């Protein structure tokens, strides 16, 4: 009997559809079966940081069945996911089957009879799985080392620093994380930039002109031959942010308008050029998460769950990747598909290469793509609506890469004055739709070009000023936070979703209308950790550790050396902070009065969220739940106020403040009675 071991029951179903041989048994571990214990450090620091693994209690029955099947099997094939985490699951599976001799820091496989094999694949299709099975090799222990190193580094931070947080803030449910703290810092520092930003007023100016044939509008771009636009740069924690304003201010706008009104205008130059809009890149993990968040409002965690389902159903390639590469086989298939279904006119004979912005992209060999272009999104009846949206996004982005660019004609008309002021108007019309053929609902300008001649004298009909305010850098969304993490080399494709989810689950960051903002608790934790443990929570230090993990995975770096490189500054910072007795008070005074003793209520935090507690505690133990009201919206049933509630899993919904007397609840914000 051949025993093939995978992680999930869905994979079992997909494998069984392909391997119909009665001599093959497919078994699912249902995730990890061995891990570090939850309630102790389990890292022997004095013995080269040796980890102490144990059975996961909930997996006792799985382990027992696995061992029984292993004894019956003539050949055992490990078929977990191709990344480091998947390799780690395979390693611990092999341990229970008796193939591993643990001699830390070495990872030795003992298999004299060559009974154990590891098959690596990036899509669950018949051709790919049979090829992977035929080419099955040995366990990739360098990847296991890299994953073990990550777990050890994260465990050292969590179990060494978290107790200091408990002492500082007085809450034993708090935790520090090696990468999660850096992600939290990004959100906190961005919010500080927003809060400290000083807005400035400026103006844009538009003119309505008339020629003998037509009327049109144009924007002022130069005053007396000098550019009107000013660019300013803010230095942010995660990089620079540029915002634009104009030289027209409240002090000079009226005088400039009067001067412009007195001028004479003519068409100085007409420029028509052909512009090509290139197809967008295929998707990697980061980009998939960003687009699903932006387009559909999906959280990163939900997006990855949907992608996992599509992968295990055999519809897409492996979804944890930082690569934009596409295989030669897929490119050939896509070109044939376009030629047959859209015609040679749309086929790009060249093959475009897309580059990632990630500092060290190497996790997987391909971007996320459909496994078969004949699996058209519209034809897949067994997908739920959310799965279909994600699949269609992946499908179209991959197919579009082999289309020709869309082509536009761009008309620019430059209107000058006798004072050398310059107004510009721009028009655009589609010449060839190219890859936009795949996106029929994309809004495209099809302007009828203005009929003007160079040198034409124009009449100024009107001047309009538009008052604007300079805007601070935008608050992070899940999408933009992941983009920042990727560009700075923080985390890897398999870690983005857990990082972004964790800082919200811990209530360090709150998501409101899609925007991430730090809570009082999150800000306090970030400020303490970033000053007290400056060495290990810097962007560059964290990114360098990611690079070292990659080097371990490639067999270029020693695991003990990397851990020591991390632990020495951690140990130094721990010693410095160990005797610090100052307390961080995370609470906010409110105008509400305690109904029991009359003292002020304070806004406080627990692991379940915000609540009001009496400032007279412990003498007065009065508490009441915190209610987040939605302004200007009333309950459609009883006209009470609408408040934001959360399910046990943290999903936000809207309910009436008068519950349980009023049972109104909705996932969507109700329209106000006055506006409906």
Query: Do 27 and 539 meet the contact criterion of CB atoms below 8 Å apart?
Result: no
Question: Per-residue pLDDT averaged across 345-350, rounded?
Answer: 94
Residue 135: pLDDT band (50, 70, 90) is very high
Alpha carbon distance 348, 358 (integer Å): 27
Alpha carbon distance 292, 311 (integer Å): 16
Query: Do 102 and 345 meet the contact criterion of CB atoms below 8 Å apart?
Result: no
Question: Per-residue pLDDT averaged across 534-558, rounded?
Answer: 93
Question: Per-residue pLDDT averaged across 365-389, rounded?
Answer: 94
**Sign of CA pseudo-dihedral 225, 229, 232, 238:** negative
Q: Which pLDDT score, from 0 to 100, does residue 356 have? A: 65
Question: Per-residue pLDDT averaged across 608-630, rounded?
Answer: 88
> Does the pLDDT value for residue 585 go beyond 70?
yes
What are the domain boundaries of the chain? 2-139, 150-197+474-578, 201-278+406-469, 285-400, 588-666
Alpha carbon distance 490, 540 (integer Å): 9
Give the whole-number percent of the chain exceeding pLDDT 90.
78
| Residue in 203, 280, 283, 226 with CA at minimum distance from that of residue 486 | 283
Question: DSSP class of residue 29?
Answer: -
The CATH-assigned architecture of domain 285-400 is Orthogonal Bundle (1.10)
DSSP string, 539-592: HHHHHHHHHHHHHHHTT-S-HHHHHHHHHHHHHHHHHHHHT--------EEEEE
Q: Which residue has the tokens 């049972």?
A: 663
Question: Per-residue pLDDT averaged across 208-230, rounded?
Answer: 95
Instruction: Give pLDDT tens digits for 245-303.
Output: 999 999 999 999 999 999 999 999 999 999 999 999 999 999 999 999 999 999 999 99
Q: What is the side-by-side order of every strand in the sheet holding 665-666?
A: 628-634, 641-646, 652-656, 665-666
Q: Cα–Cα distances in Å, from 428 out to 279, 408, 448?
A: 18, 7, 8
Alpha carbon distance 470, 647 (integer Å): 38
Verify whether residue 318 is a known catalytic residue. Answer: yes
Cross-strand pairs, 201: 469
Question: Per-residue pLDDT averaged across 224-235, rounded?
Answer: 93
Q: Which residue has the tokens 């936000």?
A: 652
Instruction: Give pLDDT tens digits for 442-497.
Output: 888 777 899 999 999 999 999 999 999 999 999 999 999 999 999 999 988 889 99
Phi, psi angle pair for 268, to nearest 5°:
-85, -35
| Residue in 379, 360, 367 with CA at minimum distance from that of residue 288 | 367
Pick the catalytic residue: 311, 318, 391, 654? 318
Cross-strand pairs, 613: 602, 623
Question: Per-residue pLDDT averaged across 586-594, rounded?
Answer: 90
Instruction: Give pLDDT tens digits for 15-72.
Output: 999 998 889 999 999 999 999 998 899 999 999 999 999 999 999 999 999 999 999 9
Question: Per-residue pLDDT averaged across 315-341, rounded?
Answer: 94
Q: Which pLDDT score, from 0 to 100, does residue 168 have? A: 87
Chain centroid, CA 210 distance in Å: 49
Q: Which pLDDT score, from 0 to 100, does residue 288 have? A: 97
Alpha carbon distance 465, 526 (integer Å): 43
> Does the pLDDT value for residue 363 go beyond 50?
no
Least confident of 62-71, 199-208, 335-344, 639-648: 639-648
Alpha carbon distance 581, 161 (integer Å): 15
DSSP string, 185-220: HHHHHHHHHHHH----EEEEEEEEEE-SS-EEEEEE
Query: Do 250 and 201 meet the contact criterion of CB atoms below 8 Å apart?
Result: yes
The token pair that represents 587 in the structure block:
């609470």
Q: Which long-range contacts (CB under 8 A, 24 or more apart) does 227-232 make?
A: 232/470
Q: What average pLDDT does the chain have? A: 92
Question: DSSP class of residue 365?
Answer: S
Please give the torsion angle defined by the CA atoms of residues 583, 586, 588 and 592, in that order, rounded to the nearest 10 degrees. Answer: -100
As a CATH number, domain 150-197+474-578 is 1.10.460.10
Alpha carbon distance 398, 390 (integer Å): 13
Burial class of residue 589, CB neighbours in 10 A (0-12, 13-18, 19+) = exposed
> Does the pLDDT value for residue 141 go beyond 80?
yes
Phi, psi angle pair for 657, to nearest 5°:
-65, -20
Question: Per-residue pLDDT averaged across 571-580, rounded?
Answer: 89
Strands (E), 306-421: 406-417
Question: DSSP class of residue 438?
Answer: G
Cross-strand pairs, 240: 235
Alpha carbon distance 514, 200 (integer Å): 26
Q: Report the 10 Å Cβ neighbour count for 14.
A: 21
pTM of the entire predicted model: 0.88
> Does the pLDDT value for residue 571 go beyond 80?
yes
DSSP string, 134-157: HT-B---HHHHHHHHHHHHHHHHH
Domain 2-139 has CATH 3.40.50.300: no
Q: Which pLDDT score, from 0 to 100, does residue 669 have? A: 84
Question: Per-residue pLDDT averaged across 552-578, rounded?
Answer: 94
Instruction: Give pLDDT tens digits for 82-122.
Output: 999 999 999 999 999 999 999 999 989 999 889 999 999 99
Least confident of 13-27, 129-143, 199-213, 361-375: 361-375
Question: Per-residue pLDDT averaged across 159-183, rounded?
Answer: 90
Alpha carbon distance 200, 42 (integer Å): 55
**Sign of CA pseudo-dihedral 284, 286, 292, 294:** negative
Q: Which pLDDT score, from 0 to 100, does residue 319 have? A: 95
CATH, domain 201-278+406-469, list 2.70.20.10, 1.10.760.10, 2.60.120.260, 3.40.50.1010: 2.70.20.10
């Amino acid at each position: 009997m051949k025993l093939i071991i995978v992680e999930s029951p869905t994979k079992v179903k997909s494998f069984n559809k392909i391997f119909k041989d009665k001599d093959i048994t497919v078994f699912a571990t249902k995730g990890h079966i061995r891990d570090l214990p939850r309630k102790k450090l389990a890292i022997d620091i004095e013995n080269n940081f040796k980890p102490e693994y144990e059975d996961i209690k909930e997996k006792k029955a799985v382990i027992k069945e696995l061992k029984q099947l292993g004894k019956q099997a003539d050949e055992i094939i490990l078929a977990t996911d191709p990344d480091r985490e998947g390799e780690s699951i395979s390693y611990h599976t092999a341990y229970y089957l008796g193939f591993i001799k643990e001699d830390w820091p070495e990872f030795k496989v003992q298999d004299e009879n060559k009974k154990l094999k590891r098959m690596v694949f990036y899509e669950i299709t018949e051709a790919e799985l049979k090829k992977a099975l035929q080419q099955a090799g040995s366990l990739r222990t360098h990847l296991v080392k890299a994953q073990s190193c990550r777990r050890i580094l994260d465990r050292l931070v969590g179990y060494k620093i978290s107790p200091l947080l408990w002492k500082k803030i007085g809450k034993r449910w708090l935790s520090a994380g090696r990468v999660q703290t850096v992600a939290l810092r990004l959100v906190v520092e961005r919010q500080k930039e927003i809060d400290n930003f000083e807005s400035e007023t400026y103006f844009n100016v538009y003119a309505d002109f008339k020629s003998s044939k037509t009327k049109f509008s144009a924007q002022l771009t130069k005053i007396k031959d000098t550019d009107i636009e000013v660019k300013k740069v803010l230095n942010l924690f995660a990089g620079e942010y540029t915002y634009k304003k104009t030289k027209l201010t409240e002090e000079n706008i009226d005088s400039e308008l009067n001067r412009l009104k007195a001028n004479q205008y003519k068409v100085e130059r007409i420029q028509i050029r052909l512009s090509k809009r290139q197809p967008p890149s295929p998707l990697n993990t980061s980009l998939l998460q960003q687009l699903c968040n932006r387009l559909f409002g999906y959280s990163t965690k939900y997006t990855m769950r949907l992608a996992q389902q599509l992968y295990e159903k055999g519809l897409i390639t492996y979804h944890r990747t930082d690569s934009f590469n596409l295989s030669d086989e897929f490119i050939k298939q896509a070109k044939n598909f376009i030629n047959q279904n859209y015609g040679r006119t749309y086929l790009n004979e060249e093959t475009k290469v897309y580059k990632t912005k990630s500092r060290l992209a190497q996790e997987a060999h391909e971007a996320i793509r459909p496994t078969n272009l004949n699996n058209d999104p519209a034809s897949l009846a067994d997908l739920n609506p959310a799965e279909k949206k994600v699949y269609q996004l992946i499908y179209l982005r991959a197919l579009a890469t082999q289309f020709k660019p869309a082509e536009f004609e761009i008309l620019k008309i430059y209107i000058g004055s006798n004072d050398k002021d310059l107004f510009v108007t721009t028009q655009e019309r589609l010449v060839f739709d190219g890859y936009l053929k795949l996106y029929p609902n994309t809004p495209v300008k099809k302007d009828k070009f203005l009929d003007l001649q160079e040198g034409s004298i124009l009449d100024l009909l009107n001047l309009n000023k538009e008052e604007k305010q300079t805007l601070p850098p935008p608050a992070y969304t899940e999408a933009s936070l992941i983009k920042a993490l990727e560009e700075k080399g923080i985390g890897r494709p398999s870690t983005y979703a857990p990082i972004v989810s964790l800082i919200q689950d811990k209530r360090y960051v709150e998501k409101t209308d899609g925007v991430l903002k730090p809570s009082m608790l999150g800000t306090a934790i970030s400020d303490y950790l970033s000053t007290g443990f400056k060495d290990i929570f810097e962007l560059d230090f964290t990114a360098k550790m990611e690079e070292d993990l990659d080097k371990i995975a490639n067999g270029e770096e020693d695991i003990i050396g990397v851990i020591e490189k991390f632990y020495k500054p951690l140990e130094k910072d721990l010693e410095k902070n160990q005797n610090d007795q100052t307390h961080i008070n995370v609470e906010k005074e409110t105008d509400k009065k305690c109904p029991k003793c009359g003292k002020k209520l304070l806004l406080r935090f627990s692991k379940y969220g915000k609540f009001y507690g009496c400032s007279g505690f412990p003498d007065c133990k009065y508490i009441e739940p915190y209610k987040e009201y939605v302004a200007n919206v009333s309950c459609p049933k009883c006209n009470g106020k609408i408040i934001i509630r959360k399910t046990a899993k943290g999903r936000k919904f809207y309910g009436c403040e008068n519950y349980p007397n009023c049972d109104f609840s909705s996932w969507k914000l109700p329209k106000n009675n006055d506006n409906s």
